[in-house]
Amino acid sequence: MRFRVHPVNRLRGTAEVPGDKSISHRAALLGALAEGVTEIHGCLEAEDCLRTLAAVGALGADVTRKGPGHYRVAGAGRHGLHESDDVIDCGNSGTTARLLLGVLAGQPFCTLLTGDASLRRRPMARVTEPLGRMGATIVGRAQATRLPLAVQGARPLRAIAHTSPVASAQVKSAVLLAGLYADGPVSVHEPAPSRDHSERMLRRFGARLRAEGTAVRLEPGDLYGTTVHVPGDISSAAFLLVAAAIVRDAEVSVTRVGVNPTRTGILTVLEAMGARVEVARAEEDEDIEPTANLTLGAAELRAVRVGGPLVPRLIDEVPALAVAAVVARGLTTIGDAGELRVKESDRIATLAREFGKMGVRVEERADGMVIEGPQPFRGARVASGGDHRMAMALVVAGLVADGETVVEDTACVATSFPQFVETLNGLAGGPAVTVEA
């Protein structure tokens, strides 16, 4: 599948984005481990989260789709999952693979996990190493550091205090989920705060958990089913917001977006670049996750420096942010972001290569990039490399390019934002993006 992108001068209106991917995964997993029923509203129905729902179904939870985005998960209970009769395919989803590894570490049976070509290249040692220390047996490719992997869980697991070398919510969550099966409290310490959706949701499901700075400690215990309302995904909204910041005549509102402070780095940076960002907080803030309506309009953008603890707060938004940096005046530097190299693609290399085809120079660094703006995007034939966020970033670049842009290999957008083209065309008031088989 490919997208043909026509430049636009105007982008206006109000849009919705689908449910938050990170939160949807966690609702499905915790629902499966809980006693009783969990109702999930606003669940992201995109390939990544459908993988997690299918996986927990294969392991013994009873999952029913009640309507669009509405799932009922009858939990198997902490000790009630059973062996799957087939390999579990996590598709493109790192969150499915890494969080499931945490759950499976505590199951007294064997599970085989695999994924697509991108996921089979991604590093798993960051979770298999601590889970191995807790007592799980994990074997697989490259000394159990790449999928496919086989996990033989153990019960109880040994309680550990894990210091993660990377700020990764997937690592933190995997150890905490395994910690539900440990013989004492487990703790995870990370170099900078990563998204805390697991902590918030575990508490909501009744877990005893304490967070202090960059450390979190969980006591093993049962979980109880609950109702989860999933807010819109700020990582999907980011593409619309950046488009609104760079298209000449633009004002875009995105409603009911999750604004958990561990995820709002993109808003901090767009403001620092000179964009007008309006955040209207919704009232039901006592729910698990805060939400807001976000409004952004076109602005003269200036360059920024991004690094340190800001990076985990916007790691998935770097492809969108890089588009803004090309349009902004001055030298934008993104550092401390070596993790970009092990996402769905090597996003530093993919950005440099594909922007290069559009006549834009991106200087690659080991842990980030330098972009001098403003540079004009030239319409060209580019490719996503199978990476959903790269596909969407290239479309946004195409909206302000000189001439038509063709983005190849775009079926991957369905992993996180299946309605992306429709939503963008709604704001453009016409077919800015057309889809070709």
The C-alpha atoms of residue 396 and residue 407 are separated, in whole angstroms, by 11
Q: Which amino acid is at 424?
A: L
Q: Which amino acid is at 17?
A: V
Q: Which stretches of the chain bind ligand S3P, using CB under 6 A?
A: 22, 95, 168-170, 173, 194-195, 315-316, 339
Is 62 catalytic? The answer is no
Q: Which amino acid is at 160?
A: I
Across 119-157, b (16+ Cβ under 10 Å) vs e yields bbebebebbbebbeebbbebebeeebbbbbbebebbeeb
Smallest gap from Cβ 415 to ligand S3P, in A, equals 10
Q: Which amino acid is at 248?
A: R
Considering beta carbons, is residue 5 or 228 the nearer one to ligand S3P? 228
Considering beta carbons, is residue 185 or 191 the nearer one to ligand S3P? 191
| Cα dist from 137 to 56, 59, 149, 224, 277, whole Å | 20, 18, 10, 28, 48
Catalytic residue among 89, 116, 316, 387: 316
Please provide the distance, in angstroms rounded to a whole number, between the alpha carbons at the two ends of the chain: 5
Smallest gap from Cβ 197 to ligand S3P, in A, equals 7
Smallest gap from Cβ 235 to ligand S3P, in A, equals 7
The C-alpha atoms of residue 94 and residue 91 are separated, in whole angstroms, by 9
Residues facing 137 on adjacent strands: 152
Q: What is the CA radius of gyration of the chain?
A: 21
Considering beta carbons, is residue 315 or 352 the nearer one to ligand S3P? 315
Considering beta carbons, is residue 256 or 263 the nearer one to ligand S3P? 263
Considering beta carbons, is residue 38 or 168 the nearer one to ligand S3P? 168
Smallest gap from Cβ 350 to ligand S3P, in A, equals 15
Q: Which helix (H) or strand (E) segment is 104 a member of? A: helix 94-105
Q: Which amino acid is at 105?
A: A
The C-alpha atoms of residue 42 and residue 135 are separated, in whole angstroms, by 36
Smallest gap from Cβ 95 to ligand S3P, in A, equals 4
Catalytic positions are 316
